[in-house]
Structure formats: C-alpha cells, structure tokens
Structure 1
Amino acid sequence: MRISVYCSSSPTIDKKYQELAFELGEAIGARSWNLVSGGGHISMMGAVARGVRKSGGHTIGVIPQLLVDIEFADKDSHELQVVGSMRERKGRIEELGDAFIALPGGLGTLEELFEIWVGRFLNFHQKPVVVLDPFGLYDPLKTLIDHLEVEGFVKPGQRELLHWCTTIDQALDICGGR
C-alpha cells in the first residue's frame, strides 16, 4: 500500500503540524506501507518521510528539477523521482498512490486536494481521499463546502467522496484498513 500525502513545506508553521506529519509517517511505516510525497526535506513534507523511514517504511519522493536545484530535495528518500514540472509531479504522485491523505497546508496542499477529489468524483480513479485535521485548521473550508453544496455548486455525491478525520488511525483505516 502506497499512501500519497499532501502537506505543507513551509518552515514558518507551528511545530505541532510537523509533529503530526512525523507521527503519520511513523504510523504508515508501522503498517509496512510506503509513502509517496512531493520529495522535499523541509517542514511537514520532510517530517512525514522521516517518520516513515524511522518505522521501517519505504519513501518515494517526486520532485521537479527546479526544486532539486534550490536544494529542497529529500536526499534520504529511498526513491527520488525527478520530473520536469509541478504538473508532472502531481500526475506521478496520483499514479503511484493507492490512497491520498491531505494534512494541514496552504495553497499548494489545497490545490492538490481539490484536484484529487475532483478526479475521484469524475471516476478518473477510485482511490480514497482523506483530510486528516486534528486541529480544526480546515473547519472554515468545511463550512464553505457546506455552503457551496446548499447553493448547488457541490454536486450530490461529491461531498461523500472526501473523508474528514481527526486521528491518524481513522485516516489510515479509511485508506486501507489494518
């Protein structure tokens, strides 16, 4: 089982988010699963990979050459796949992953989450899409999605394809059970 994780690479966020990412990584590795990530070594992205490796899991990073050039790459990754663009990166992460977890993050994380969620709704894939948010960071987003549904912009059945969790075990159980 390969879990693709979307998360922040910002070094300025509260440490609790990096700790969450590390704990998720440890839990992925403890289940003998593998990680697919954006291939960066800083902040949450690096923390989740370090957690997976600490607990014996395999890490696959997918990173554009431009980010390798600015020394952003996770050189400890078991596999580091260098691609030409962010679009290629997203496609490869989608292709490699058996399930997707979005942790707290900013615009890039949201963009990846929405793209993979829409792909699920349009039947481009049948893989679980999970938001792991124990701190309530995305509560305003959930409220917005509720409002969009009331106004008819979120289609029937679309909301049910996105699973909201507050614990790591819930998220991983949705991805593939124990």
Structure 2
Amino acid sequence: MPFGECTITLQDVGMLVGLPVDGEPVLSRGSPNILELAEELLGVVPPQSEIKGHRVRLSWLAAIFGDIADDIDDVDVLVRYGRAWILRYLGGVLVPDRSSSYVSLRWLLFLRDFDIIRTYAWGAAVLGYLYRNLCTSTDYKTPSCVDLPFYYSYGHGNDSQPLCLRHFHLFLQPVQLV
C-alpha cells in the first residue's frame, strides 16, 4: 500500500476478533425455507411480526433465548440456545444489518452441525462483509477529498462555499501516521 494509507486486513480480523481466517468459505447455499430452518434448528418459528424478509428481530431472539435455566439436561435444548446465541452475536456484532435490529436466519445454515462450525473461515466472511458494506454505504454524490481542489478553485475566497470546504487545505497537509 502507498505510504500513509491503511486498511483492515485479514490478519487484523484474525488477531483482533479471534475468528478463524482459514477454512471452508462461508458461502450461501441456496434459498432454504427460512421458517422450516428456524423450526428445525431453533425449535421455534418466529411470529410474522418479528420477521422482515429472511431476517428476524434480535430482540425476539433475546426474549426467547435470553435466559437459560440451570437445570436443563437436554443436549438438544442447549444446542438450540447455543445457535441462538451465535445468531445474536453474528447479527449484533460481527455482521449487523443497517438497522442493527435484525439478523438473517440464513446464518442458521452454517450453525446446523456444531462439529463443523469451527471449520469455516468466519474471519474472512466478516472482513468480506465489512468491505462490502463500506462500498455500499459510500455516497458517491458527496464530494470526496479528490474533489476538494475543484471546489476550492471554483469558489476560492468566496464566503458562499460550504463551511466544510472553506478550510480544505487542512485535509491536504501531509501527516505522518506512525
């Protein structure tokens, strides 16, 4: 990378988040029936009021799977709570949607078998998700730093410039990052 630039790398994700970066890719495997998948893997179907497309409200997951009794001996019930916790962690921390209120039930496809969950490259998936959302959240209609000299030359010394462009030279000063 050129001097003065930085980005989040796969190594950063592996070191900071602790997710595996090597392994099976986390790729979509078709379009399953989300409600059947939820019933099979969580043991409950979310009500329609808690679903938006293929996503479910995180608050609903927290209400249903938030507290677990100490005396549960059934392994299947414990695994369902584990899946719900991982689903909440995915939707709340690792791959949140724009509202930070929902999580895709499609992630359940990767939580079916607990023995192979750790074989997926979750770190690579999180980094890919981050990059994708950085690209889709960029507003290309807003002037960038590259456009600032144009705006400066257009209205140099003119008080009609937007406030953010009046002191653009501050953004063009060389600054050592390290």
Fold in common (TM above 0.5): no
TM-score by length of 2: 0.24
Q: TM-score, normalised by structure 1?
A: 0.24
Bigger-Rg structure (1/2): 2
Identify the structure with the greater helix proportion: 2
